[in-house]
Structures are given as C-alpha cells and as structure tokens.
Amino acid sequence: MLKSPHLLGIKDLDAESIDLIVKTAKEFKEVLNRPIKKVPSLRDVTIANVFFENSTRTRLSFELAEKRLSADTINFSASGSSVKKGETLLDTVNNILAMKVDMIVMRHASPGAPHYLSKHIKANIINAGDGTHEHPTQALLDTFSLREKLGDLAGKKIAIVGDILHSRVALSNIYALKKQGAQVRLCGPSTLIPKHIQSLGVEVSHDVKDTLQWCDAANVLRIQLERQQIKYFPSLREYAQFFGITRKILDELPKEIVLMHPGPINRGVELSSDAADSPHSIILDQVENGVAVRMAVLYLLASRA
Ligand code: NCD
C-alpha cells in the first residue's frame, strides 16, 4: 500500500513504493494489451483533471488511464475558466470538490501548488507537474521504461542531458534514480545546471560525447525557452552544435545505449530527427507505458481509502 494519500513528488516516495507502482503498472500494461482494455477497478471514483498549464501527453495519458479504470472524469483547463476572473486556486478546487470529486490530478505553473492544496482539501492529489519543481508520474514512467530495457537500475549509469535548471522531469528523475541505486550524471551547459545539484549525489559534465560513452541510457530534455527570462546560451543553433544528439554520434558509440525524451521534442535542437526516430530511441514506449503507470498510481491511491 502507498503510505501517502497523495502523489506530490518523488522526494517523499520510498524505493518500496516505487517498486509497488512499477509492479502494479506491469499488470495494467498486460490489461492494455488485451482486446478489452478496461477494468472496473475505479467504477465509483470521480476524478478531475485540473490543468493550469499546457499539456499533450500527460493530460491525455491521465484521461485514458482513468477511462481504462472505469472512473468518471471531468476536465478543467485554466484558459476559458473563471480563473481569468480572479478566482483563487483553493476556491476553484473547492468548487470542483463540492460536485463530489474524489481525486484531483493537477498541473500548475507554481512550484508547490499541489503541496499547498494537499494541506487544505480532503481529496487525493496527484501532481502532474508543478512549475520547474517535480513531475512524479513522468519519472515513474521513465523508471518503468528503463527497467523494461535494463532490468534492475542499481549500479546502472543514467545520464540526463539538457536544460536541467528549468526541468521538473530532471528533478523527479534524479530522486527516482538515486532511490533505486542508479548512478546519475547530468550534462548540459553550465548555465543550465543548478549550482548545488551535486548535493543530490549526481555527477555533472559539460561533454555530451563523453557522457554518452559513459551511460547505459540518456534521458534528453527540451530547452524550456518559455521558462527562460534571460539568455542562457548564445543561440539554439549553437546549443544544437555542442549538446544536440545525432544518429551519427549514437552510431559511433562503442555500445548500444537507450535514448529517452519526455516530449515534446524540439527536433533539430536537443535531438536530430534521425536520432529521435532511431532504433536506440524508446520515446514512444515511454508514452505507451505512461498510461499503465498512471493507472497504477490512480489505482493504488484509490485503494488506500
Ligand atoms: C514535460 C513537462 O511538461 O514537464 N513533458 C511531459 O510532461 N511529457 C517536459 C517538457 O515540457 O519539456
């Protein structure tokens, strides 16, 4: 059983809970490959997907996971809502809960927004990304996908490449990988690596070719221009030249590595198209696994009650 009624981040999750989610997700992945991809597990549960920030994969993945579990769902997005009229986050959510909603899946631009809500409301909360802070279900689906390819992650070498500073995917992955005993190396321009990040037990490198030679798997992140108020590097072209990963670079490595990306990809910047679409890439497997992993999280949180 999961220890908390919420999934706010990986920071508060122990290795045992990560194992339980992965194990449960494996069972749900099997359900998703059956002709009837649906189970009645959450038939009496109502879930609101509350998105204050843009999303494609995460939102569709949660919605599909809820439908596969037979939950009732409602969807809220900030644009077109009364948030634009000045309603507070707590008022918005309390109004949704007054309609007898049991769970909230929330994406919000402010780090800590789901943590704040969890102190004021009774429903289960799942963080679907809070600003530059955490994105726990992404790290869990990355873990699931990595374990499918590499087995146990203890001792495995995992690189996270790109805009670490603005990425919630990076922080959640660092916590998840360290808790599973993996070795983690961050790689990117020094302006995009947070100053004291080594205190989390990770290595830092600015040499992408050396990092790719070192690792068993590389999780490549998007340059999050929408979060950058100042210039962190001269131009996207220069970034692509120094940190972009191409098929040629991958083919020249002494061993096969696993290539990941949470999406959306900026083709030609962090990854060339021939790298993103190469056999090294498990990017679409990550998306497929996301549904099973989110089913596992929803199911385990709902069955705590
Ligand atoms: C990421 C996000 O929104 O945090 N995408 C995702 O959820 N799959 C990463 C990104 O936006 O670059």
Pocket of ligand 1 (CB under 6 A): 57-58, 129, 135, 138, 168-169, 222, 224, 262-263
**pTM score over 0.95:** yes
CB under 8 Å, gap of 24 or more: what pairs does 121-126 form? 121/90, 121/93, 121/94, 121/97, 122/97, 123/97, 124/5, 124/6, 124/301, 124/302, 124/304, 125/6, 125/7, 125/8, 126/6, 126/7, 126/62, 126/297, 126/298, 126/301
Among 56, 132, 138, say which to mutate for ligand 1: greatest number of ligand atoms within 8 Å of CB: 138
- Across the chain, mean pLDDT equals 96
Which ligand 1 atom is the nearest neighbour of the CA of 55? Answer: 3
Which ligand 1 atom is the nearest neighbour of the CA of 169? Answer: 4
Residue-wise pLDDT for 228-266, tens only, equals 888 899 999 999 999 999 999 999 999 999 999 999 999
Helices 168-179 and 136-150: crossing angle, nearest 10°?
50
Planar angle of CA 12, 290, 6, nearest 5 degrees: 30
Strands (E), the chain: 46-51, 72-77, 103-108, 124-130, 157-161, 183-187, 203-205, 217-220, 258-260
- Residue 110, pLDDT > 60, answer yes
- Residue 80, pLDDT > 80, answer no
Question: What integer pLDDT is reported at residue 79 of this predicted model?
Answer: 80
The candidate with the shortest Cα–Cα distance to 72, out of 38, 42, 111, is 42
Question: What integer pLDDT is reported at residue 305 of this predicted model?
Answer: 57
Which ligand 1 atom is the nearest neighbour of the CA of 57? Answer: 8
CA of 288 to the centre of ligand 1 (A): 15
Token pair in block for residue 117: 């809500």
